[in-house]
Amino acid sequence: MSPERVAGPAYRAIGGEVVSRAGRALPWPALALLAFYGREALARHAAKDAAGARHCAWMAVDLARALTAVDDWRRAAGVAGQPLAPAGKSSRAT
């Protein structure tokens, strides 16, 4: 993980799913990843690694924004409350 910020968000919402900058769906639950970034930001801060802490915090912000957009999309689509599924397993109603 590089502490250098790349232009644009690391995560975004597309069609009710969170995808990475590369356009791939997440292979793990997004909320677990959000918790990881939060813990890692705190650990980097405690280790006096300001750049690493800032990077993890920004990754968490990008992911939180994507999760909010996913929730908005799902509410509008009438599938609110559906958990985010691992990649390859759509959490959208069929």
Per-residue confidence in pLDDT tens, the chain, 94 aa: 556 667 889 999 998 889 998 888 887 888 999 999 999 999 999 999 999 999 999 999 999 999 999 988 888 888 766 655 444 444 444 3
Distances (CA, A) of 86 to 19, 21, 44, 45, 79: 11, 17, 27, 30, 17
pTM of the shown model: 0.78
- Would you say the C-alpha torsion 80, 82, 84, 85 has a positive or negative sign? negative
What three-state secondary structure class fits 30?
helix
